Amino acid sequence: MRNLVATLRPMRAELLGVAGVVGLLLLAAFAVLARLAALDLPAACLDPESIEVACRGRQFDALQYQNFAGNWGSAVAYSASFVPPIAGIVLGIGAIAKELDQRTAVLAWSVGPSRRGWLLQRAAPLVAIVSLVGLVSAFVFNTMFQLSHGGSEVVETAAFDGIANMGFAPLASGISAFGITTVVGAMLGRLLPGLLAAGAFVLFAALLIQQGNDRIMAGESLVAEVSVAGPGRQVDWLLQAPDGRIISYNEAYFQYGDPQTGEIGPEIVQLTRYVPVEILPQVSARFILFHLVVGLAALTLAFAVVERRSP
């Protein structure tokens, strides 16, 4: 413990900054919850089906609740999603780039016999801190998301949109941001250029992982008639001709449409391509895995760079 404090002491500014950001997030979440609690609405008022009957006389408050939760709850939820990558970048840049930029790595690398040991000593607790920030962020996001979506049923289908912000995903994205920033910082050895380049790489990696996951997810989608399709993420609308072919809207219109009304004939079946909600855990796990692989690969590379470069 004594050594841990001493090892992290050079990064006090970064740690305080991250603690400040997390504190602000929790404060904002608490403010939203406190405001909604002050309305003191019975649970029946939050259920769209029973609101007319059970919430007589409190409709205005219920509307206020929904507006506030929808606006501010969403704002806090989506703000929470930025916190783990920001924490990863801030702590990642402090881990190596700041030491190289301010020439303090000379002290560390000449006193400590092992550079790998030096990096491990500081990276391990920082990864733990980023993970904790990720869990807090996920908790805040989940709480605010449920508030702003007004019920578990909606959350279930909308969860695909929040996949990057729920469960262990923020933890993983924080670790990937930390790893990328660490290796970029180790290569450039400069604070500001390292920060800018790391920000760009973290954004690029996040988009790449998102796109990759979406593509794989599209391959796992199902096609079903609209009336029988289960809950999930809508990927595409399709039209099926009587002979079973999937056809475009234009084709359907010209072959089976009514030129007078513009309506397509009843022989055309409307289908939906969707990702069933049942595979949400699998999709989420893959998203987490991609981020963890990127983060750990980047960290491994950072160890190699630190081992070879001059301070």
19 binds other proteins (CB under 8 A): no
Composition of the chain by helix, strand, coil, percent to 5: 75, 10, 20
186 contacts 306 by C-beta, under 8 angstroms: yes
Q: Which amino acid is at 144?
A: M
State which of residues 49, 53, 60, 113 lies at the interface with other proteins (CB under 8 A): 113
Of 230, 228, 248, nearest to 238 by C-alpha is 248
- Encoded one letter per residue, x for contact with other proteins by CB under 8 A and - for no contact, window 252-291 reads ----------------------------------------
Nearer to other proteins among residue 5 and residue 37 (C-beta) = 5
39 contacts 64 by C-beta, under 8 angstroms: yes
How far is the C-alpha of 30 from the C-alpha of 184, rounded, in Å?
A: 36
Nearest 5°: CA angle at 180, between 119 and 27?
95
State which of residues 2, 56, 215, 245 lies at the interface with other proteins (CB under 8 A): 2
How far is the C-alpha of 114 from the C-alpha of 38, rounded, in Å?
A: 57
At closest approach, how far in Å is the CB of 193 from other proteins? 21
Nearer to other proteins among residue 83 and residue 105 (C-beta) = 105
111 binds other proteins (CB under 8 A): yes
Region binding other proteins by CB under 8 A among candidate stretches 10-18, 29-37, 195-203, 255-263: 10-18
Nearer to other proteins among residue 13 and residue 304 (C-beta) = 13
Nearest 5°: CA angle at 143, between 64 and 139?
155
Tokens found for residue 124 = 């391990």
Site size toward other proteins (CB under 8 A) is 27
1 binds other proteins (CB under 8 A): no
What does each C-alpha distance from 246 to 227, 235, 252, 254 come to in angstroms? 17, 15, 10, 15
- Neighbouring CB atoms inside 10 A of 8's CB total 18
7 binds other proteins (CB under 8 A): yes
At closest approach, how far in Å is the CB of 108 from other proteins? 6
Nearer to other proteins among residue 116 and residue 255 (C-beta) = 116
Which residues, 79 to 108, sit near other proteins by CB under 8 A?
102-108
At closest approach, how far in Å is the CB of 211 from other proteins? 40
Nearer to other proteins among residue 10 and residue 70 (C-beta) = 10
How far is the C-alpha of 24 from the C-alpha of 295, rounded, in Å?
A: 26
Which residues make up the interface to other proteins (CB under 8 A)?
2-3, 5-7, 9-10, 12-13, 102-114, 117-118, 121, 310-311
